[in-house]
Structure 1
């Protein structure tokens, strides 16, 4: 039985290359490895800090977050805020044996990162540590796949790369692409270049589709059995992160991020108006590119 493990990593590229094989690269870099029944996917934000969406997109699917504990700067702080707002409870700091780990823990006291483990051992031993993670089996849920890359393959057709975020994906399943609402059917499923009849929640998948076109897709599009709900103007419960309090004008332009999407909006108090509709989700990150930190807090729709 496949145990999928998805990891966000920042600032440890050399460390990763000793363990994993590099795969897809765009504004994020994706590494992978099959270790027994463990299918491990690592996402790193290649274009961050210049491109903030590289951070939010790479972190979204992660079960585990891993940071370089030897390099303390504002970029690490921003990534820690993102992890806390996304409720990434399991994490590690990769440190050299000489690192003052007590200082590191004190620096992030009061945040979720204070509970992250300090790891100073060799890369291959860290691989064994990661493989201890076992995904919790969820009850029956509707299938949902989040798309991060897509392309045409000659004689195959449209292929998407993404993650099963809910439920179970099956071969020949009929699904709808969000936003374009085009209908597609799953022709084949691969994980780590191995064909499967189905894939469970958390799986990193390559899917050949019958129907649909790359023009109908973008990063953050989802594949679901039913049409999703969308929001354009909505009231929300706003929560500002302690590190951003007093630094954010709650009337003006913002960006919302979640589900590997990054969309412009305007905020006035607790009212948000999107430039274009956004798929309804339990919450969104509030981003303000002209403040420091740029990740401000969360907005939970009240509708």
Structure 2
């Protein structure tokens, strides 16, 4: 069941026209499911809230998305920040949709210049708002950008709770690898183990969840105190994560960054 995670920066009205509204936290989710060639394919829009006041929800969305949608209501500093953020995140494909505020006007040539300078030259630009069917068709054509199950399992947990009749449930995006029912998992940094009792992706019971899926894991033989926001789920003895006390990194400057660090 392939899931295409899409970073969506735009209005609630446009998001609702494309998909059905789901979870609301600091990120809104919108889901559209359709069976194609005998396989259920899922479009998952992730809309960060409180931007530009808060940057963290946008960064969280960019961390899991493979495709983007930016609705342009006006040209301002916020639009530039958004485009540069998508470019720096390496999101190569997406849709730019011009939809001016009431009584306003947006120059398509100015938008073209901004998206080219910010590294989004391969995105599709719509100078008027296409209908929802055209948008969905374009997104389904980008399903090739859904990840497979490469690498070791890593799931950063962002929610957990107890469900009557099910038990302890942890929720997060599969960052890499895959997880199946009955797998033995380890929660870090607590280094405590549990067994995957069942899995859900987009409210559907599944046998396996792969990279890019937002998954709910029902876990047995694990203390609730072990889980907290930001803890990591891996397979036991996988070596996917190691303790690190010192790091070396390289900074890639954004196109508009003029200051030296």
Query: 1:143 maps to which residue?
Result: 153
Instruction: State the distance in 2 between where 1:20 and 1:217 align.
Output: 31
TM-score by length of 2: 0.84
Whether 2:227 is the aligned partner of 1:235: answer: no
More strand as a share of residues:
1
User: In the alignment, which residue of structure 1 is the partner of 2:69?
Assistant: 66
Q: Structure 1 CA distance, aligned partners of 2:94 and 2:219? A: 35
Find the residue that maps to 1:29 and give its secondary structure: strand
Q: Is residue 2:105 matched to residue 1:95?
A: no
Report SS of the residue matched to 2:141.
coil
Q: CA deviation at 1:140?
A: 5.0
Aligned partners of 2:150 and 2:211 also within 8 Å: no
> What is aligned with 2:45?
42
Distance in 2 of aligned mates of 1:138 and 1:5: 11
Gaps of 5+ in 2: none
Q: Determine the structure 2 residue equivalent to 1:123.
A: 132
Which structure 1 residue ranges, 4+ long, deviate > 6 Å from structure 2?
none
Aligned-residue CA RMSD (Å): 2.3
Q: 2:182 & 2:41 partners in 1: Cα distance? A: 25
Q: 1:24: Cα distance to partner? A: 1.6
* 2-structure distance, mates of 1:181, 1:71: 49
Distance in 2, matches of 1:115 and 1:69, equals 17
Which residue matches 2:220?
210
Return the TM-score normalized by structure 1: 0.73
> Does the residue aligned with 1:202 lie in a helix, a strand or coil?
coil
* Cα displacement string for residues 129-153 of structure 1 (whole angstroms, at most 9, x for unaligned residues): 1111223665753222233322222
CA contact (8 A) 1:92 1:118 kept: yes
- Residue 174 to residue 107, structure 1, CA distance change in 2 (3 Å): same
Asked if the contact 2:117–2:255 (Cα under 8 Å) also holds between the matched residues in 1, the reply is: no
